[in-house]
Amino acid sequence: MSTRSAAALGITLSMVAAACGSSAPLSPTSPESPATPASSAARMLQGQTANAADATTLAGVSVRLGAQQPTTSDASGYFRVENASAGATAIELTGAAVVERRTDVRLPIDGVVKFGLIPASFDLVAFNEMFRGSHERLQRWMTAPSLVVLTTVMKFESSESTSAEGTSEQIPSTEVDAMVRDLTDALATLTANTYTAFAQVTRESTSAGSRASTARNGQIVVARYRDLRTMTSSVGFGRWAEREDGVVTGGAMFLDATYDGTSEKRKLRTHELGHALGYKHVTTRPSIMNPVLGYDVMDFDRQGAAIAFQRPPGNRAPDTDPSSSIRTLSDGGAVRWVSQFP
């Protein structure tokens, strides 16, 4: 797959005060519901509608499977479609309280399929900024990334660089341990606990004058950089590699060496990890992904991550998935490193 160069996605510093604040439904869940005889499983779809942001059930949702007459979910969110055809079939879920959902299901399925829907009250504009910022389609990792911590303080050269030169300064091991803990916690938060740990954590030292790659497939590379803030007026920036189908395949985090030693370092690390996960800046509401560092993780960020990780990469506004045939393409398209630098 070809690779193109990327810009960098940075974050500036302000005195803003901190504020509090399953993929496509192709596999069943197991809520309590009436059992279905095995003989009829191949011709019946049993489903349940729920709020994708908080998992509460939703009643009164209209469900249309293929060309069949629509049915409506009951008070507990359950619905049934009789005489369903085998194979992948388009399904539409609509209602006044939800954003219209279009995806497909592959029958037969044993059990109940749970459909997580975006509530109509959710801030879809901000969600699109954060999770669908590239080509107006959702981008995210499909497997837990590995984490590489460069324990050598590196020289900052350019936002376009894909490697960096080491200095003679090493990060103390206790600070590296704290960084790994912060990033592991942030990974769980920003993926709605889809990934509660990195696939692997590697600590890598670089001798002074030697170079280390910062663009690696399947890995997120994090490092402190000398003079980053002086040269860019930002305290950090992040990048990610994505395929044309929206799957994120690599990431990099650039942290100003001085600022990453302050009391605000956890926010900085969380924000830049967000970029390495494929998230862009949010400009319309408070978020950990605001371009000006200040807010901590907000309820919007948590709910947005929960929604995003119940959808496949390539999902488009308002809530339409690519067909199952597109989702199963083997190569996923060309890879490029993307972002923006304010």
| Confidence grade of residue 32 (pLDDT, cut at 50, 70, 90) | very low
Domain range list for the chain: 3-22+125-338, 38-117
| Confidence grade of residue 21 (pLDDT, cut at 50, 70, 90) | very low
Please report, rounded to a whole number, the percentage of residues in the chain having pLDDT higher than 70. Answer: 82
Q: Give domain 38-117's CATH architecture.
A: Sandwich (2.60)
- pLDDT tens figures, 121-172: 999 999 999 999 878 999 999 999 999 999 999 999 988 899 999 999 999 9
Q: 181-195: b or e for each residue (b if 16 or more CB lie within 10 Å)? A: ebbbbbbebbbbebb
- pLDDT tens figures, 228-270: 999 999 999 999 999 989 999 999 999 999 999 999 999 999 9
Q: Mean pLDDT throughout 24-28?
A: 42
| Confidence grade of residue 43 (pLDDT, cut at 50, 70, 90) | confident
What's the pLDDT score for residue 85?
87
- Domain 3-22+125-338 bears CATH identifier 3.40.390: yes
| Confidence grade of residue 108 (pLDDT, cut at 50, 70, 90) | confident
User: Is the pLDDT assigned to residue 65 strictly greater than 70?
Assistant: yes
| Confidence grade of residue 336 (pLDDT, cut at 50, 70, 90) | low
Q: In 10 A of CB 30, how many CB atoms?
A: 8
pTM confidence score: 0.87
The answer to which of 6-10, 53-57, 315-319 has the lowest mean pLDDT is 6-10
